[in-house]
Amino acid sequence: MIAPPDDSHRRPEGLDDTTVEALGKFSEALETVERIRGHLYSLHQLTGKADFALDDAVELFRKAGHDKLADRIEHELIGRNVLAGRWTFQVVEEYDDGYYAEFRDLEKDARDELAGGRRHLYEAELKEERRTRGRAGHESRPRG
């Protein structure tokens, strides 16, 4: 038996095409914001890695007799804020607690209010349009 799309990916009665498309665009925008968030965590981790690598550079400069340069790196770069008053963990926290949280909450509120909380309706309908019914690998949902 071939399973039809599950209820969580079917458009609620009365939901118009434009609203489904708008919810899809909102979801797409949220996915972009999720990627931005991941890049911020990359910034956070890579900045920390670079900061710790400076310890090795300072040690090697001292070993090579370049104490003045080692001192500058130690006092001007190691532990320095990346933005005014902020290390990267603070940037990530501010983003998470502000813009990201508001974006995520508003997207969920829109889905709850307009589509009964259903996610990815636009994509689910696109899948139904594009798949080849009855062909292996084109099932509407997992069997079971």
Q: What is the pLDDT of residues 3-47, one digit of tens each?
A: 667 888 899 999 999 999 999 999 999 999 999 999 999 999 999
Q: What percent of the chain has pLDDT over 90?
A: 79
Its pTM stands at 0.84
Give the DSSP per-residue string, 75-142.
Answer: IIITT--SBTTB-HHHHHHHHIIIIIHHHHHHHHHHHHHHHTT---HHHHHHHHHHS-TTSTT--SS-
